[in-house]
Amino acid sequence: MRRLLSIILVCAVVFVAYHSFVSAPAAFPLPYHLSVTAGETSSSISRQLANDGVIRSRRTFQFFMVMLGNDTHISEGEYYFSQPLSAMAITLRISGKEFGITKTKVTFPEGYTNDEMASRLVATFPIFDSASFLTLAETSQGKLFPDTYKFFPTPNAEEVVNTMQHNYEAKLAPLRADIAATRHSEAEIIVMASLIQKEAAGAQDSPIIAGILWKRISDGMDLQVDAAPSTYSHKGLPATPINNPGLVAILAAIHPVVSNYVYYLHDSSGTIHYASTYQQHQQNIKKYLK
């Protein structure tokens, strides 16, 4: 009888302890997103989890981290909780590599403007803060590298902008020696690349278009690029990129093809026709556009 009472008492203590310290709080916030940065400690994480109402006891959470030998092995990353979890389950999640959710792909085609990127982000992540994205990226058009990215379901604007800018830096780093060998700054290369992105039909035409546009600038001509109306009223490049160009356009701006061409036009099928003289250009207009 005494042994039975002892067992009942132990079970009662375990039950009370579990529901007082270990189990998920009744007001567990859902969905819950936790960002863990490099160098964070179990102490700082437990404080955030307790303040957010995710765990009942900081000490219990830290005890589990120590018990599992993971108090100094916290996986950096983004953690997403779609259902309430106990302190033990959260400990296992944070100390492992399983973040609990699949990232979502979002693709930005080459030549997308910041506005188009914002629209694509909202279409992919309905609660995405596009206004904050556009504010943060206001001076970064041209440096938000068009690519396929993977984000968790609730990305914030700063995370997206930083990720795209880091990608730009990674892509441009190997090209900077070549850029330095040109007569142009990196900013000028990116502006030119944004024009090429809109004007060229692909990898074959991009270096030729680049050569024509650089030649026009060198000869003191107006660029007269339809994609950038300011080039009809002001000589030289636009002040800022008109979109976010891809690698093909950037490489073309760095390594233009020198030719005798000065003019070009697109026919109704998108094929580009070149001309060395204004007379030839007029003939192409009559032949392909009228």
**Which segment of 8-22, 121-135, 186-200, 223-237 scores lowest on mean pLDDT?**
8-22
Band the pLDDT of 102: cuts 50, 70, 90. Answer: low
Burial-class residue 19 by CB neighbours within 10 Å (0-12, 13-18, 19+): exposed
Predicted pLDDT of residue 68:
65
Predicted pLDDT of residue 153:
78
Both tokens of 12, joined, read: 């009662």
Alpha carbons 148 and 107: distance in angstroms, whole number: 4
The CATH homologous superfamily for domain 104-174 is: Endolytic murein transglycosylase (3.30.1490.480)
Rank 34-48, 81-95, 255-269 by mean pLDDT and report only the highest.
255-269
CATH number given to 23-94: 3.30.1490.480
pLDDT averaged over every residue in the chain: 85
Amino acid identity, position 36: V
Tell me the pTM.
Answer: 0.69
Which residues have a Cβ under 8 Å from the Cβ of 141 and sit 6 or more positions away?
113, 114, 240, 241, 242, 243, 244
User: Residues 138-153: pLDDT tens digits?
Assistant: 999 999 999 999 887 7
User: Residues 233-243: pLDDT tens digits?
Assistant: 999 999 999 99
How wide is the angle at C-alpha 169 spanned by C-alphas 133 and 241, nearest 5°? 60
Alpha carbons 208 and 198: distance in angstroms, whole number: 14
User: Residues 174-198: pLDDT tens digits?
Assistant: 999 999 999 999 999 999 999 999 9
Predicted pLDDT of residue 7:
43
**Which segment of 72-81, 99-108, 116-125, 167-176 scores lowest on mean pLDDT?**
72-81
Who wins on pLDDT, 92 or 2?
A: 92
Identical fold, 23-94 and 104-174: yes
Query: Is residue 99's pLDDT more than 80?
Result: no
Q: List b or e across 82-118, with b for residues whose CB sees 16 or more CB atoms inside 10 angstroms.
A: eebbbbbbbbebbbeeebebeeeebebebbbbbeebb
Residue 197 burial (CB count, 10 A): 28
Backbone φ and ψ for 13, nearest 5 degrees, come out as -65, -45
Domain boundaries, the chain: 23-94, 104-174, 183-288
Query: Is residue 270's pLDDT more than 70?
Result: yes
Alpha carbons 15 and 20: distance in angstroms, whole number: 8
Alpha carbons 174 and 53: distance in angstroms, whole number: 47
Who wins on pLDDT, 121 or 79?
A: 121
How wide is the angle at C-alpha 150 spanned by C-alphas 144 and 32, nearest 5°? 115
